[in-house]
Structures are given as C-alpha cells and as structure tokens.
Amino acid sequence: MEKVISNENSTPKTPLVKHIYTADPSVHVFEGKLYIYPSHDLVNDGLDDGKGDHFKMEDYHVLSLDDIGEPCVDHGEALHVKNVPWATQRMWAPDAAFKNGKYYFYFPAMDKEGIFRIGAAVSDKPMGPFVPEENYIPGSFSIDPGVFTDDDGTTYMFCGGLWGGQLEKWQTGQFVAGEEGMNAGEDGPQGDEPALTPWVAIMNDDMVTFKDKPQYVKILDENGEPLKAGDNERRYFEAPCMHKFNGKYYLSYSTGDTHNICYAEGDSPTGPFTYKGIVLEPVIGWTNHHYIVEFKGKWYLFYHDSSLSGGATHLRCVKYMELDIAADGTIKTLNDLVQL
C-alpha cells in the first residue's frame, strides 16, 4: 500500500486530502488516532442518469489524522472490488469496527444479481488491507452500513438507502425489482403513509453475521407519529449514523433529495427515535453524508461536499467541523456555504 501524506495541516471546512476524491466518511478513534473510512470517487465521464451510474467506486482507501490539525495520511488501497468474490460494482459508503483484537470493515456493493448487499472484511490493522469474507453478510440488504458499539460491547449495524440504494424494493421482506433511479421512490410509501426507515441488526460476536433478522427502526415526530413519506425535509433517506451522548442515543441521517443531515433521539440504540432537528444544512453537490465522533473530549462532524471538483456530484471531498452539543444533547446546526 502506498502511503501519501498531505502537505497541508488539516483545517475545518477544507478537504482532508486533495490527491484523490473521497466521500461518505465514517470515523473511529483507534490506537489514539482518528481513522477515517471514506468511499473513493473515481473520475467518470458517465452522465447522471439518476440510477447512480455516474458514481464510479471500486475500491477504498483508509485515511488517518494523528490529531485534529495534523496533516492527513492516506494509507493507500485497503480493499478492491476485484478481490471480493461475491461483489461486482458500486463500493459505496463503508464503516468499520474493532472487536476481539481485529478490525472489521463493512461495505455495500452489488452482488452478481444487481442487488445491494453488505460485505465484511477483516484485518489486524486499522488501515487494512482488509481480507473480505467469501459471501456477503447473510440477511443484509441495501446500502450505507453504520456501525455502533455500545458501552456493554454490543455492536449494532444500521443500514438502508432509498432510490439507488434499493430500500423500497424490500418492503415484502424479499427483493422485488421495480422502478429505477429517480423514479425508484414510486415503489415506496407516498404522502401521509409512514416513511421507510433504516434497519438495525445486532452483530454476533464473530462480527461478520447478524444475531437476528434486521428490524426497521421507528423515527417519530413531535406527536409520537411516524414521520411521513411526504415529509421530505425530515424523513430518512440514507447514511445512518449513531452516537451516544449523556446516556441517550442519537440516530443521524441524510434526507437525500432535500439534502439535510438530521438527527433523532432515543432511549435505546434500537429506538424508537424522536426527530430533533438539523445537524448540517445542504452542501455543494447532491449527496450529504456525515459521521459524528468524539475525540479528546470534543465532538466533530465529518462530512463531504463537491467543492474540490467544482460541484460534480460524483467527485466529492471529505471535510470536518467541530460540533457544538448542549448538555441536553441538542446539536447546533452547521453549514458549509462554499462559493464556487
């Protein structure tokens, strides 16, 4: 693996690295450093056909920061689709975890039937390289695995994405092919019907299988009713992330076509969660995807935008900002209003 060290110190609202395009950050404190697990956007001439074909994503690089403000290190390729026996394409937003002395890397990819599944890969080191399992995690589907380990050691995987992420296709419990791209939402609930939500599964101790079938979480409004499918400003779309603050659990996520990062609060990691507000307003580019992490007593939001490529939706760059969280868990809304 070829290591590249940024020649600039990391600063808020600035791309962590500029020699490759990165997106969809997940961030963990391992061995006292911040390890960033992003997607890797490759240059692609394909037009945005609404199906996600403009995203050319076939491998992953792991980044790290010794400390906030230090230059970012790119540890090189950690996993490539060509080495994953069951996967064919679309290595989208990943996450990682540490247990039993091993590092686990989780990633969505399309299987040989064009269905998104979640894969697991293992390494002795936080930066990989990661050795993939022969098959995807049995029972997994859709995109954007977000992994959270609670103080009691239980690890949860949250997952799911609308439209190109195929969450609408699983409402019967089986994959049902249907509309694609921008029209995929027509296969899901509409208007006042309850919106779709991410699923959660508890990981077995082996960290590569689930204890039980995934269950959909509940995201409720201020009246205790499920958020509605037509409530595009607040309903779940993709990018689930869980953080724990003062004993409460916070599920944050992207609203997709309205481009917000929102959050909802619950008393248990499996919910129900009640909608609280916006963490990050829309950024340059269509997608908005983030991670919330505590490091050395401060909270940070890692996110991406398309500023480095001058606005190309499929060529993004990971950045960070410090988060302001009040004692009651309320998060102050942030924005990154880049002028291109």
Residues that bind ligand FUB (CB under 6 A): 23-24, 39, 55, 92-93, 143-144, 161, 238-239, 287, 289
* Phi and psi angles of residue 293, each rounded to the nearest 5 degrees, phi first: -145, 145
Q: Which of 24, 168, 305, 336 is an active site residue?
A: 24
Nearest distance, CB of residue 100 and ligand FUB, angstroms: 28
66 is catalytic: no
Nearest distance, CB of residue 206 and ligand FUB, angstroms: 25
Q: Are 12 and 322 in contact (CB under 8 A)?
A: yes
* Phi and psi angles of residue 183, each rounded to the nearest 5 degrees, phi first: -90, -5
Output 133 or 238, the one with its CB closest to ligand FUB.
Answer: 238
Output 143 or 331, the one with its CB closest to ligand FUB.
Answer: 143
**Tokens standing for 266?**
């619950």
Output 28 or 290, the one with its CB closest to ligand FUB.
Answer: 290
The length of the chain, given as a count of residues: 340
Nearest CA among 132, 143, 2 for reference residue 62? 2
Nearest distance, CB of residue 30 and ligand FUB, angstroms: 22
Q: Which of 95, 144, 238, 305 is an active site residue?
A: 238
Taking phi over 0 as left and psi of -120 to 50 as alpha, with beta for the rest, 271 belongs to: left
Angle at 19 between CA 69 and CA 147, to 5 degrees: 65
**DSSP-derived secondary structure letter, 43:** P
Helix/strand/coil for 54:
coil
Q: Which residues contact 80 (CB under 8 A, 6 or more apart)?
A: 58, 59, 60
Output 144 or 274, the one with its CB closest to ligand FUB.
Answer: 144
Nearest distance, CB of residue 87 and ligand FUB, angstroms: 14
Output 73 or 159, the one with its CB closest to ligand FUB.
Answer: 159
Output 234 or 274, the one with its CB closest to ligand FUB.
Answer: 234
Nearest distance, CB of residue 297 and ligand FUB, angstroms: 29
**Tokens standing for 75?**
């540890």
53 is catalytic: no
DSSP 145-206: -EEEE-TTS-EEEEE--SGGG-GGGGTTSS------GGGGGGGS--TTSBPP--EEEEBPTT
Nearest distance, CB of residue 90 and ligand FUB, angstroms: 8
- Active-site residue list: 24, 238
